[in-house]
Structure 1
Amino acid sequence: MNIKLVVVGKVKEKYFRDAIAEYEKRLSRFCKFKVIQVPDEKAPESLSKAEMEAVMNKEGDRILAKLSDREYVFTLEILGKQYSSEELAKTVKQLTTYGNSDLTFIIGGSLGLSAAVKKRSNATISFGRFTLPHQLMRVVFCEQIYRAFMINNGSPYHK
């Protein structure tokens, strides 16, 4: 099984990089896990709606270039479907049991995801309606994917 996390921008803080690396190591027991970073576009605070769309479209093109047709794609979106940890574990297990061995999760840039990326998505996930820094969201996501595997393996980790 292959799990890919496609993200916009780099993780600047060492403590976030260390946490992500720890979950990558833990996940290696269960799957091939890979984080792919695409460059973010410079986005000053005062952008027009058209300029914001242009930034999202450029980042979206970079994201789409990292996807293949066979991947089952989840986009992380504030208005996406909210899962409990157990529901996410069940979803991952069902998808991989029924022929989807390449799962990709996408975290967009600071302005969000382009319409083209959302259209390519097979499903959405929301970690709640609050806003998290994208670097922290990567850590939270990695932990939840690890938790899903631990749940599916009957480990007491998630309690």
Structure 2
Amino acid sequence: MKLIIVAVGTRMPGWVDEAFSDYAKRMPADCAIELREVKPEARTTGKTPAQMEALEAKRIDAVMPQGGRWLALDERGRDLTTVELSRQFQTWRDDGRDVGLIIGGPDGLDAALKARCDGLIRLSSLTLPHGMVRVLLAEQLYRAWSILNNHPYHRA
């Protein structure tokens, strides 16, 4: 199983890339984390947020794993504890398919794209910067793995 984080946005600050890479490299090869960045639609074109989301959705579709499980990060998604995420992680591993986790752009994600997803999850009730979401998601995936493998990283 591969964990593919698809994130709308490019050119993150150095600290984001460094922190994300740190957690991604900790994961074992059988559940590697891969980042696929998607170019955001320019916000100066006069398009509506819905039009921009639809264009970004096409770019997301182009890089998502075919035949994989798709999950969108959304403010109205399922709120999981870390232990619940680790249980989900185990379900994903047992299933064997790649998992695509989608982080939307400034306006969020296209409604039709979210409807095609296997589920919606949220990391926080707070509004977080997109770069921070990448880091937090990678850290929580690593923590979920550490719980399942009795690794000392997670201390309950």
Q: What TM-score, normalized to structure 2?
A: 0.92
The 5-angstrom pairing of residues 98-137 of structure 1 reads 99-137=95-133
Could you say which residue in structure 1 is the equivalent of 2:15? 15
Q: RMSD of aligned C-alpha atoms?
A: 1.7
For residues 37 and 55 of structure 2, the distance between their equivalents in structure 1, rounded to whole angstroms, comes to 14
Count residues in correspondence: 155
In the TM superposition, what whole-angstrom CA distance separates every residue of 1:79-123 from its partner, at most 9, and x where no partner exists? 1000011100101102221x2431110000010000221012101
Unaligned runs of 5+ in 1: none
- Report the secondary structure of 1:80's partner residue: strand
Q: 1:155: how far off?
A: 1.7
For residues 89 and 146 of structure 2, the distance between their equivalents in structure 1, rounded to whole angstroms, comes to 12
In the TM superposition, what whole-angstrom CA distance separates every residue of 1:55-75 from its partner, at most 9, and x where no partner exists? 101111100111244110110
For residues 144 and 80 of structure 1, the distance between their equivalents in structure 2, rounded to whole angstroms, comes to 16
Runs of 4+ with deviation above 3 angstroms: none
Q: 1:29: how far off?
A: 4.8
Answer yes or no: is the 8 Å Cα contact 1:5–1:35 preserved in 2.
Answer: yes
The one of 132, 135, 138 aligned to 1:139: 135
Unaligned runs of 5+ in 2: none
The 5-angstrom pairing of residues 4-153 of structure 1 reads 4-44=4-44, 51-97=48-94, 99-153=95-149
- Report the secondary structure of 1:7's partner residue: strand
What is the letter of the counterpart of residue 10 of structure 2? K
Answer yes or no: is the 8 Å Cα contact 1:11–1:135 preserved in 2.
Answer: no
For residues 139 and 8 of structure 2, the distance between their equivalents in structure 1, rounded to whole angstroms, comes to 19
Q: What TM-score, normalized to structure 1?
A: 0.90
